[in-house]
């Protein structure tokens, strides 16, 4: 029983390590893209709000 528990324990650790590595390698670029998109969206919204006022003043 103890041997089997140790094997399953190590197996779980290996699986967790693979899953975590996969998440880090795959999810981080995706998360980074989402963050970039959100930041760009926020910047464009802010620029639109300020830009409209600025354009009116320039005209």
DSSP 26: I
pLDDT at 43: 83
Could you read off the pLDDT tens digit of each residue along the chain, which spans 59 residues? Answer: 677 888 899 999 999 999 999 888 887 788 888 889 988 888 888 777 776 665 555 54
Is 56 inside a domain boundary? no
| Residue-range definition of the domain harbouring residue 7 | 1-50
Is 10 inside a domain boundary? yes
Q: Where would I find the beta strands (DSSP E) of the chain?
A: none
pLDDT at 57: 53
Is 2 inside a domain boundary? yes
Is 55 inside a domain boundary? no
pLDDT at 17: 95
Domains identified in the chain, total number:
1
Token readout for 5 is 């528990």
């Amino acid at each position: 029983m103890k041997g089997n528990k140790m094997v399953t324990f190590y197996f779980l650790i290996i699986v967790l390590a693979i899953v975590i590595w996969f998440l880090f390698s795959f999810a981080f670029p995706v998360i980074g893209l989402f963050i970039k998109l959100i930041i760009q969206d926020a910047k464009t919204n802010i620029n639109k709000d300020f830009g409209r006022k600025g354009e009116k003043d320039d005209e």
